[in-house]
Structure 1
Amino acid sequence: MSKPTLLILAAGMASRYGSLKQVDGFGPHGETIIDYSIYDAIRAGFGKVVFIIREEFLEKMKTVFDEKLKGKIEVDYAFQDFDLTKFGVNHVIERTKPWGTAHAVMSAKDKVHEPFCVINADDFYGSDSFQKMAEFLTTEVSDQQMSLMGFQVGNTMSDYGYVSRGVCEVTPSGHMESVTERTNIYYKGEGDDRKIVYEENGVETDLDPKTRVSMNFWGFTPKIFEVAQAMFPAFVEENKENLKAEFFIPSVPDYMVKHKLADFKVIPTSSKWFGVTYKEDKPIVQESISKLVADGVYPEKLF
C-alpha cells in the first residue's frame, strides 16, 4: 500500500488572527505550527504533503517550506479559488470569501490518489494523533471505513473568543453517528460557574466539556471527493444569496453516515491539542511548544 498523504488546509485569511498565521513563527527558531505537523507526519510514515492555499500565497509558502522539506517528504500545492465550473456549478457567484473547508478539500482532487488525512494549518495536534492516523490509513481505511480524531471540546477552547468545532455524537463502540459544525462555541461565566456553550439562532445550548469534537483531523480515501462534489452544486444553489455560507467538511461525513455510504471511526488521542484563533493565543502556543522541546518531545531545530 502507498504511503498516506497529508492535506493541509492553509487557504484561510485568518481574519480573527490579524495576519497570515500559516507562516507565523511559534517554535524556538521561528518554526510554524505546520512545521510541527509535517515533522510528526514524516515520523509517522506519511509520504507526501499537499498544501491547499490561495494562489496568491504560493510564492510565500514555497519560500517558507520547499527548501527545508526537500528530500524529506514530497511537496505539492492545490489552489482554492472561485472557479466553480470544475465542480459542476455553471453560474457565476460574486464572493470575496471561498466556499469553506469541504470546498478546499475538493480543490485537491487531482493531487491526491491515495488514502489521506486532512488537518488545519493553525492547529497543533501532537505526535500521537499522527501515529494513530497513519496506522489507520495503512491498515484499516477503505471507501466504506474512514475516520476522524476525536478531541474533547473542553481541551480545544480559547480564552479569547468563540471557536468553531464539529460536534460529534458517538456510539458506544466508538463510531460517529453524526457531526454538526458549530461556529460559535465559547466560555460563559467565571470561576466555578464557567461553562461551555454554543449559540445558534440566538439560542445558547450547554456543551459537556467531554463532548467529542472534530478539529478537522480526518482520515479519508479519494471517495470523499466524489461525494463532496455530488453535494456541492445543491449547496451553492441553496446559498447563492448568502455570501457567508460555507460548505464545511463535517457535512460530508455526516451525509455519508446518514446515507450508509461509509462508517467513520472516532479515534481517541492522548495528544494535547492547542491552536491559534486569536493573536492572544500566540504566547500560549509558544510556551506549550517550548515545554515540549524542553521535555525532548521535539528537537530544538526540526529541519
Structure 2
Amino acid sequence: MRSKTQGNSIQSFDLVKGKRNNPYSILYVPRMFAQHPFPKSNLDKDSYWTVNGDKVLILVSGHDYSPKEKRTIPVGLPFGMIPRLLILMITTRAVLTGKREIKLSPNISQFLKMIGYEVSGGEQGSLSQLYVQLKRLLNCRVSYQHYKDIDNPMQGQFKRDMGPIDEMEFWEATYDEESNRLKDIRIKLHEHFYREIMNHAFPVKQEDVNKLRPSTLALDLYLFLCHRVFNLKRDTYISWKDLNKQFGSNYANHLDFGSRARKYLRKIKSEVYPQVNFAFEPGRLVLKKSPTPVKKLSTNSR
C-alpha cells in the first residue's frame, strides 16, 4: 500500500534565501514535524508517538555505549524548543544548498543567535543544554506509518524509516569563544528525510518563529497552520481531541488543551499571521482558505 497523503511542494514557493545580514530570515519546515511535533517536555521513556488520523509518527531514542557500565544506554528523546529550532536550521541548510551533507559547526551558533538564543561556553553556559538536545536529535530514529484503517491494522499499512540522520561526526562539541561557534559537527541526512524535505518542506518567516519562541505550543500551532492552509479548498474541521492527540500534548483533558490552543491561536492571528482565517466552534477548530505567510508562485510564473 502506498501512502496517499498529499502535502506542500517546495516547487510551489519562491525559493527565497535569507537576507545577507540574516541568512535565516526565511526558514524551511519539514512537513512531518509540522504534522507531528517533538515532545514538549522530558519523557522518562525510550519512545514517543503522535497520531494524525490514520497516520502515526514514532520517535525512538538512540543509544550510546557506556564503557563504565559496559552496556548501551538510551541517549533520550529530544524535547522542548531547541530540537524544534535545530530541525528548522538543518532543513533550511539542506533546501538552500541542495546537499544531504551539512556542516553544523559554522552555522549553528549563527542561527541560534539570529533567533535570540545565545550560545555560551562554561559549566553554566547554554552549551551544555544545547549539547544534550543536539545529541538526542542526531541519534533518534523516526518512522512514519500510514494505516488503511488505524483501528484495524491488519487491513494494511505503509511504513517508512525517516532517519532523520544517516551519518554523523560528533567528535567534540566544544565552544570556541574566538570564532563564536561550535566545533566539529557534521551530519548526513537520511535519504528518505532529505527527499521529504526537498519535495515537501515549506517556508516560514524567521521573525514569526522568534516572536513565538518562548512557547513550544504556540510555535507548533503556527507551523501546523502554515502547513494546513496550503492548497486548502474548503473549510476543514478539526476537533480539539484529535489535535491534542496529533500534538502528543500532555493534557489529559482535551478541553484544557482546547482552551490553551485558542489562546495561542488568537495570539498568532493578532501578532504574527493576520492573514490566516479560522474560527472556533464548540469542541473544534475550523480552518478556512488563507494565504500562506510566504508568497507562493503564481500559475504563470511556474
Q: What is the TM-score normalised by the length of structure 2?
A: 0.31
Q: What is the TM-score normalised by the length of structure 1?
A: 0.31
Higher helix share: 2
